[in-house]
């Protein structure tokens, strides 16, 4: 009889690699949403055929970016990609990858900014809601080796005036440490324009009157930096489970905002997924 570890197929390794990278991205966003659109994650996907993943992620985060109040939510994780270059899902949004070259991905996509409800915390009282809205954007990824990746993403449309601009940059690596185990680590940062930073961290004159806070004008700059680690276990050739942790720290005007109660935060993800 063959040892059980030999039952893990090459496809399971690709699936585990994809889920590891996806989990890294999910916790890299310092908000409470599992759907982290800071990068397009197509690693491990076979470029010449259709395929997708279906799963569930439990995210332990915060009530809002900069909050010291915890928030734990469960989110569906559904993604599909077509051999033609189209993709859609809760991790990547809806978009098109123009590249047919292994290790290089670039294209355009439509994502969403989920906004922020004033009712989420007493700290936000008087600031009003930031409505959810669509974002348009572009991405460029480079995979120098089978175990390393670089990501970049540009997103436009978030914030109260729907004119917020975000530039996301990330890098990471994954490694198979046992036949069924893969680990990963990553770093990332997000730059935001003044429209976005003011929407989420500023206090204008009207908000100051309603909330009792002083006026605070937040300008453009690096919003935050993040580091993360993850471990993925291949349960079967198509099913995997992932645990991931990230540490994030707000920077610049975002960190100095009067609504920020904790500049640093730790987020966690537990996820299971099935590839089809």
What residue ranges do the domains of the chain occupy?
4-275
CATH architecture observed for domain 4-275: Beta Barrel (2.40)
So what's the pLDDT on residue 104?
Answer: 94
What percentage of the chain reaches a pLDDT higher than 90? 73
In sequence order, which residues have a C-beta less than 8 Å from that of residue 188 and are 6 or more positions away?
28, 38, 39, 151, 168, 169, 170, 171, 225, 226, 227, 228
So what's the pLDDT on residue 34?
Answer: 38
- pTM score over 0.95: no
Question: Looking at the predicted structure, is the pLDDT value of residue 179 above 70?
Answer: yes
* Complete DSSP assignment for 111-127: EEE--B-GGG-GGGTTS
- Mean pLDDT, residues 97-120: 94
So what's the pLDDT on residue 42?
Answer: 80
Asked whether the CA dihedral 24, 130, 191, 144 is positive or negative, the reply is positive
Give the range with max mean pLDDT: 99-108, 214-223, 227-236.
Answer: 214-223
In sequence order, which residues have a C-beta less than 8 Å from that of residue 10 and are 6 or more positions away?
none
Question: Looking at the predicted structure, is the pLDDT value of residue 70 above 70?
Answer: yes
Asked whether the CA dihedral 90, 66, 189, 268 is positive or negative, the reply is negative
Residues present in the chain in total: 276
Q: Would you place residue 43 in the very low, low, confident or very high pLDDT band (cuts 50, 70, 90)?
A: low
Place of tokens 């906004």: 115
The chain-wide mean pLDDT, for the chain, equals 87
């Amino acid at each position: 009889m063959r040892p059980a570890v030999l039952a893990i197929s090459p496809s399971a390794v690709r699936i585990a690699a994809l889920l590891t990278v996806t989990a890294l991205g999910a916790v890299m966003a310092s908000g409470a949403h599992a759907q982290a659109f800071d990068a397009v994650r197509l690693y491990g996907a076979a470029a010449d055929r259709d395929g997708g993943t279906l799963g569930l992620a439990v995210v332990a985060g915060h009530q809002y970016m900069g909050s010291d109040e915890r928030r734990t939510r469960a989110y569906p994780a559904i993604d599909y990609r077509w051999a033609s270059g189209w993709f859609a899902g809760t991790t990547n949004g809806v978009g098109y990858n123009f590249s047919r070259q292994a290790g290089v991905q670039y294209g355009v996509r439509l994502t969403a900014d989920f906004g922020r409800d004033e009712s989420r915390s007493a700290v936000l009282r008087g600031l009003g809601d930031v409505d959810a809205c669509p974002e348009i954007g572009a991405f460029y990824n480079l995979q120098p080796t089978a175990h390393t990746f670089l990501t970049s993403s540009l997103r436009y449309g978030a914030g109260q005036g729907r004119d917020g601009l975000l530039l996301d940059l990330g890098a990471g690596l994954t490694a198979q440490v046992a036949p069924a185990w893969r680990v990963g680590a990553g770093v990332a940062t997000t730059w935001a324009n003044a429209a976005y930073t003011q929407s989420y961290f500023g206090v204008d004159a009207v908000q100051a009157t309603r909330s009792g806070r002083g006026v605070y004008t937040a300008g453009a700059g690096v919003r935050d930096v993040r580091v993360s680690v993850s471990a993925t276990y291949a349960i079967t050739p198509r099913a995997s489970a992932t645990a991931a942790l990230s540490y994030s720290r707000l920077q610049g005007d975002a960190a100095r905002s009067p609504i920020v109660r904790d500049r640093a935060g730790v987020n966690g993800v537990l996820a299971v997924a099935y590839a089809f």
